[in-house]
Structure 1
Amino acid sequence: MILRPLVPTDLDRICDHRERMFHEAGRDQAQLAEMTASFRIWLEPRLGDGRYFGWMAEQDGQSVGGIGLMVIDWPPHPSHPSDDRRGYVLNVYVEPEWRGQGIAKRLMAAADQAFAARGIDYAILHATAAGRPLYEKLGWSQTSEMAKRLT
């Protein structure tokens, strides 16, 4: 199994992984189709210019998982008082038949290295119930974030 950097031609695969990730987390399929269409429009320029980066895990040329990363603008915070950026991990997905083989762990280690290379020392992610145990084993901790839909 190899990790290779994401390229613009990964657009469809990333969108598929994201939709399947949310479906497995129990989201409504009708909402997912709309979300995926909007996400594709959002992702394409970011994947092309490198604002969205990451890796695809492949075995014998077949995609078996992936991870997306971004560096986001954020005001200095007690957790990163001298930096105005955070790393953001998203779209961590491993094909069901490949789970339990350390692929997500390798993807997360690659994320840590990529952020460190960019001088990022604080990162966030939103975990599904299925992903939370892995992230906790890797040193991630839950924060007090809340959300509200305004419309």
Structure 2
Amino acid sequence: MFSEMKIGDPSEFDAYASEFREFATQAMTSGTFHSWLAETELGEVAGGGAIMVVPWPANPKHRQQQRAFLLNVFTEPAFRRQGIARTLVQAIMDWCRGQGFGSVFLHASEAGRPLYQSMGFQPTTELRFDF
């Protein structure tokens, strides 16, 4: 996923994967990270996505004191254009709705933006500063 998006140094991807596994294990145990996989009938992973639940102060629009961030939605190249990402995102959104979240936030790649917008996601005023 990150290689296709040209994010990061490919020589560091193994170290990143190890760090991510450690993080995900702890976060799943604490209930702040939830992931979904799409598999073929043969058990091949065709895609996946996740939600990170983070503490957040309530405000008049969002009373729940946590937010759901959608991340790491990816479909393996051999399975693209078959509705897998849409199905994953819909399943994740259904879960979030069932958990009482009033909205879901994400940072979309350029490739993913059309999918999210077609599902009703709206651009926001968020800005970012990278060091």
Q: What code does the residue aligned with 1:71 have?
A: V
Aligned-partner Cα distance in 2 for 1:37–1:87: 24
Tell me the C-alpha RMSD between the 2 structures.
Answer: 1.8
Aligned-partner Cα distance in 2 for 1:145–1:97: 33
Larger helix fraction of residues: 1
Unaligned runs of 5+ in 2: none
Aligned-partner Cα distance in 2 for 1:32–1:148: 23
Unaligned runs of 5+ in 1: 1-20
Aligned-partner Cα distance in 1 for 2:129–2:15: 20
What corresponds to 1:84 in structure 2? Answer: 65
Q: Is the 8 A contact 1:94 1:104 kept in 2?
A: yes
Identity %: 35
What corresponds to 1:23 in structure 2? Answer: 3
Where relative contact order (Cα < 8 A, 6+ residues apart) is larger, the structure is 1
- Alignment of 1:72 onto 2:54: yes
Q: Is the 8 A contact 1:25 1:129 kept in 2?
A: no
Q: What code does the residue aligned with 2:107 have?
A: H
CA offsets per residue over residues 109-137 of structure 1, 9 Å max, x none? 10111011111111101111111110010
Q: What code does the residue aligned with 1:24 have?
A: E
Aligned-partner Cα distance in 2 for 1:79–1:35: 36
- Alignment of 1:124 onto 2:102: no
Aligned-partner Cα distance in 2 for 1:120–1:65: 24
Q: TM-score, normalised by structure 2?
A: 0.87
- Residue pairs, 1:88-103, within 5 angstroms: 88-103=69-84
Aligned-partner Cα distance in 2 for 1:77–1:133: 29
Aligned-partner Cα distance in 1 for 2:125–2:60: 14
SS at the partner of 2:50? strand
SS at the partner of 1:23? coil
Q: Is the 8 A contact 1:71 1:85 kept in 2?
A: yes
**How many pairs were matched up?**
129
